[in-house]
C-alpha cells in the first residue's frame, strides 16, 4: 500500500473510531436516561400505591361517616317528630300538670288554707291561690325551657357534624383530583 492509501485508511479508521466513541457515549447516555426513567416509573408506582391506600382508607372513613350520618339523621327525625307532637300538646299538658300540682298542693296544705280563709278571708285566699297557680305554671314552663335548650344543643351538635362531613367531602374530592392528576 502506498502512503496515500495508508493515510486514507488511517483517516477512515479514525473516523470509524470517533463514530464508535460517539455511538458508545450515546448508548451510555440512553442507558442512563432509561435507568432514570425506570426509577421515576417505580417511584410513581409507589406514589400511586400510597394514594390508592389513602383512597381506600378515605373510602372506609366515608362509609363510617355515612353510617353515622344515617344514625344521626334517624335520631334527628325521631326528635323532630317528638318535638312536633310535644308542641301540639304542650299547652294542654302544662295546664293539666299545673292543675294536678295545684291539687296536690291544696291537699297537702288543706289545713293551712282553711286557717288562712278563717283569718284573712276568701279574697286573700283567692289571691294566694292564684299566685300559687301562677308559680306552679312558671315552674313547669321553666322545666320545659330547660328541656328545649337541651334539644337545641343537640341540634347544634348535629349542625357541627354536618359541617365536618362537608369539610371531609371537600378534602376527599381534592384528594381524588390530585390522584387523577398524578395518574
33 vs 124: which has the higher pLDDT: 33
Collect all residues with Cβ–Cβ distance below 8 Å to 121 and sequence separation of at least 6: none
Collect all residues with Cβ–Cβ distance below 8 Å to 116 and sequence separation of at least 6: 124, 125, 128
Q: What is the pTM for the complete model shown?
A: 0.38
> Under a CB-based contact definition with an 8 Å cutoff, are residues 116 and 125 in contact?
yes
Quick check: 78 pLDDT over 90? yes
Q: Name the residue ranges covered by the structural domains of the chain.
A: 3-182
Average pLDDT over every residue of 107-120: 80
The predicted pLDDT at position 157 comes to: 92
Using 50, 70 and 90 to split pLDDT, how confident is the model at 160? very high
Amino acid at each position: 500500500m502506498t502512503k496515500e492509501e495508508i493515510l486514507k485508511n488511517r483517516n477512515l479508521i479514525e473516523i470509524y473510531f470517533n463514530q464508535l466513541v460517539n455511538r458508545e457515549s450515546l448508548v451510555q447516555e440512553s442507558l442512563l436516561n432509561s435507568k432514570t426513567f425506570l426509577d421515576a416509573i417505580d417511584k410513581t408506582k409507589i406514589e400511586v400505591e400510597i394514594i390508592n391506600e389513602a383512597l381506600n382508607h378515605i373510602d372506609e372513613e366515608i362509609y363510617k361517616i355515612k353510617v353515622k350520618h344515617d344514625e344521626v339523621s334517624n335520631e334527628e327525625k325521631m326528635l323532630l317528630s317528638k318535638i312536633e307532637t310535644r308542641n301540639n300538646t304542650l299547652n294542654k299538658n302544662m295546664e293539666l300538670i299545673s292543675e294536678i300540682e295545684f291539687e296536690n298542693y291544696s291537699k297537702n296544705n288543706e289545713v293551712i288554707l282553711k286557717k288562712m280563709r278563717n283569718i284573712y278571708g276568701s279574697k286573700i285566699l283567692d289571691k294566694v291561690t292564684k299566685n300559687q297557680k301562677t308559680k306552679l305554671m312558671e315552674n313547669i314552663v321553666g322545666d320545659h325551657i330547660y328541656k328545649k335548650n337541651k334539644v337545641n344543643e343537640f341540634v347544634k351538635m348535629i349542625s357541627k357534624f354536618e359541617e365536618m362531613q362537608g369539610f371531609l367531602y371537600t378534602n376527599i374530592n381534592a384528594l381524588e383530583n390530585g390522584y387523577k392528576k398524578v395518574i
